Amino acid sequence: MNHKGINMSIPRNNTLKLKFDSARKYAPAPESRAAAKIDPRYDLFINGKFEKPLSKKYFDTINPANEEKLSEVAEANAADVDKAVSAARNAYNKYWKKMPPKERGKYIFRIARMVQERARELAVVETLDCGKPIRESRDFDIPVVGNHFFYYAGWADKLEYAFPNRNAQPLGVAGQIIPWNFPLLMAAWKIAPALATGNTVVLKPAETTPLSALKLAEIIQEADLPPGVVNIITGAGATGAAIVNHHDINKIAFTGSTEVGKIIQRVISGTNKKATLELGGKAANIIFDDAPIDQAVEGVINGIFFNQGHVCCAGSRLYVQESVFKEVVRKIKDRLETLIVGNPMDKNTDIGAINSKQQLDTIHKYLKIGQKEGAEMYQSSCDLPTKGFYCRPTIFTNVAQSNRIAQEEIFGPVLAIQSFRTDDEVIEKANNTPYGLSAGVWTDKGSKIFNMTTKLRAGVVWANTFNQFDPTSPFGGYKESGYGREGGLHGLLPYLTLQSIS
Amino acid sequence: MANSTIKTSSISSNQKKSIKAIGKIDKEQSNGVPSKRLEILKTYKIYIGGAFPRTESGRYYIAENSKGEKLANVCLGSRKDFREAVVAARSASGGWSGRAAFNRGQILYRIAEMLEGRKAQFIDELVKQDSSKQEAENEVGLSIDRLIYYAGWCDKFQQLNSTVNPVASSHFNFSVPEPTGVVSIIAPQDSSLLGLVSVIAPVIAGGNTCVVLASYSRPLCAVTFAEVLNSSDVPGGVVNILTGKISELASYFADHMDVNALIFCEHQPDIKKMMQEKGSLNLKRVVFYDKINWLTGDGQSPYLIMDTQEIKTTWHPIENIGGGKSGY
């Protein structure tokens, strides 16, 4: 029974303003940098050992919160990639393919446990290298990394139950390329299902955030995985291209921009490489007038400002039903003022550093475009640190459906707000994008939720919540947001070929 | 797009028999003087949006069998025909995907019923197109059974491929398959009916709509099958069937921006490569069935339905404020 029904006669208070600007100020609560041991230099993790790059080149990785150098990492060239692929192929033939599935699973369980043991260290490394608030890496990224390995470990010896009437076989060597927004989590999303299904791996983390993956390499070494089953090599676009182009790779798994995803599909055409592409998004977050407004506003804030908006499924387009438009916009503006922007290592910080100078420039470019196209910009009045890359949380109103800020993925803390009147109108507007990764709906009416969640063309739909993730829950896009799923039972298939039993 | 530079087949001067001669049933007609009545010959047209237009290009080709007998003048479909078919398929997509799965199952069953009723005509056409009588009977029977097979899957494959996901947070979370949208299909070229049915059925059973290019060399059954679809409660636009050349049309099937998935059944590496390349323009799901023998059990499976499905995951919070501790 819906007990809320009793209170329906009480009118919603539209005048109450949330007050956060009280005398209570937060004292700094910085996490200790000492929790992370970062070497001055990292080599490539190939065949179970850290090896100097054949390229003989290294590049710096910096802390985007203060622009200080954290370490330098090897830049793998095509010869290094070849070496890593050979190691993976050899490990596939020699160990991994022959190993009983339950033993394979036990190795993955080991990794999960070691990630949990070293969670604090990994969280600090992640925040330093990536710029995300320590609260997020501590409470979200790293725990979910451990959980993801733990979940897929258990699948290793149960595949025959997942695909009835089929004999599921691994593909071979998987080349995996991941982005900088959730560095270690994306590594887990890639490596865990690949290993559970019996494939071996060559993984390349993003050039701005290589450190947590290299820490994972240490863990994999410590877990005593057979050499070459997981190889982690660092580098930029050229290294990624060398992986995609390598003739002895059976599977490409890529998370990143739609632009690069299309290039990958084109480049691997005519080969037998399979691909999973998890690409960009421009999610619609829809608030109906019967929604619990305060809760919805919290969901919108989380939807677009989580991880500085560096989230492919971020709720970057907000559609508000006309009758509550003013109220919602006012409450979002109020809430914006309360967000703490600054040092990612401070446990009070809500919005940390933008991952790189380049990304900050992209965001600034879109802020200019938005204003130029006639949208109204509103930003929090917060102060920004003088060093490092930061952006004030920003909303745009008076946005047209055709505006670039409503069409293109910005990948930053920038929200485009539009209004709507009817269900049909908002469905059409929400679906009017080449993307189809995620969407959100806020309403108190169950039948409306299911009408909306059915009609929104997106791979993940959050109703009365947003930005939730779980190892058991499949994630991935419709349309130009890519194909294949990661997570859950559905996340196994992209790493398998199904043979007929008959 | 009537393109005059493309060579359309013209009736060769050394043809041995006229097309009309193939329409004969009894030998007495062969002297050119009809003994009973003059037969009505069938016009083979394309099928778009539930109607039977001729190709807008005005072009045609002559289908003939291995004996060199002329079977029919067949539409040589054009890019514009394809684009119109995609518009029809897209318009039909919402309605078809929105139908109850049970209803789609009934309609697929109805197609099988109609096909059963016109079995003789299909056998006749297959025989004309080089099958033996026995092969033809087998192929038509398999085609009917394949439709029945997929009719039964319409409201079941979702149950096998859906999951309720036990997430660690206080949410109800489930994943279900949904149709990917509009699918362009180039049907198996060595089969007139069974290949066509085998690629269409899983796609529409899953709630997609499609545009299909029939076998170039054996097009007769495709056009007749369109007539079966037309009388089977299949809404117009759900299946659109074109006849024409792969070499002319394949690139349009691959690069159209309002097509979500592409199925190709031939082992032609250069065309497969082109399809992946052009398919990347809008990240089409490109599916190759060049290793399937449609005559065997491998020619049907719920996994084929899943090739043109997307997985949607829905989350909703579960209120968790304590209280209800009774029960277990």
pLDDT digits (tens, 9 = 90+) for B36-82: 888 888 889 999 999 999 999 999 999 999 999 999 999 999 999 99
Task: Give the separation between CA A19 and CA A338, rounded to whole angstroms.
Answer: 9
pLDDT tens for residues A379-425? 999 999 999 999 999 999 999 999 999 999 999 999 999 999 999 99
pLDDT tens for residues B196-228? 999 999 999 999 999 999 999 999 999 999 999
Q: Which CATH superfamily is domain A281-463 in?
A: Aldehyde Dehydrogenase; Chain A, domain 2 (3.40.309.10)
CA distances to A85, A165, A370, B240, B242 from B46, rounded to whole Å, are 50, 38, 48, 8, 5
Q: Is B47 inside a domain boundary?
A: no
Q: Do A489 and B163 touch (CB under 8 A)?
A: yes
> In the prediction, which pLDDT does A126 show?
98
Hey, is the C-beta of A270 within 8 angstroms of any chain B C-beta? yes
The shortest C-alpha distance from B244 to chain A (Å) reads 24
Q: Do B285 and A483 touch (CB under 8 A)?
A: yes
Task: Give the separation between CA B298 and CA A502, rounded to whole angstroms.
Answer: 8
Q: Is B17 inside a domain boundary?
A: no
Containing structural domain, residue B143:
79-292+303-317
Q: Among residues A484, A499, A501, which one has the least CA distance to residue A194?
A: A484
Q: Is B30 inside a domain boundary?
A: no
Q: Is B255 inside a domain boundary?
A: yes
Residues with Cβ within 8 Å of residue B168, at least 6 apart in sequence: A147, A470, A472
Burial A300-314 (b: 16+ CB within 10 A, else e): bbbbbbbbbbbbbbb
CA angle B223, B229, B231 (to 5 degrees): 115
> In the prediction, which pLDDT does A8 show?
42
The Cβ of residue B34 has, within 10 Å, a number of other Cβ atoms equal to: 12
Output the domain CATH number for residue B234. Answer: 3.40.605.10
ipTM: 0.94
- Name the residue of chain B whose CA is nearest to A166's CA: B303
Total number of domains in chain B:
1
- Give backbone dihedrals phi and psi of B151, rounded to 5 degrees, phi first: -55, -40
Q: Do A473 and B165 touch (CB under 8 A)?
A: yes
B271 and B246 Cβ atoms separated by less than 8 Å: yes
- Which residues of chain B neighbour A489 with C-beta distances below 8 Å? 163
A93 and A311 Cβ atoms separated by less than 8 Å: no
Average pLDDT over residues A89-107: 97
A408 is catalytic: no
Domain ranges in chain A are 33-279+479-500, 281-463
> In the prediction, which pLDDT does B5 show?
39
Q: Which of A31, A51, A126, A312 is catalytic?
A: A312
pLDDT tens for residues B224-269? 999 999 999 999 999 999 999 999 999 999 999 999 999 999 999 9
A73 and A65 Cβ atoms separated by less than 8 Å: no
Q: Is B43 inside a domain boundary?
A: no
> Encoding tokens for residue A182?
């959730």
> Encoding tokens for residue A423?
């269900």
Sign for the CA dihedral angle at A464, A469, A475, A480 comes to positive
Task: Give the separation between CA B24 and CA B3, rounded to whole angstroms.
Answer: 34
The shortest C-alpha distance from B165 to chain A (Å) reads 6
> In the prediction, which pLDDT does B281 show?
97
Q: Is B170 inside a domain boundary?
A: yes
The domain defined by A33-279+479-500 folds into Aldehyde Dehydrogenase; Chain A, domain 1 (3.40.605)
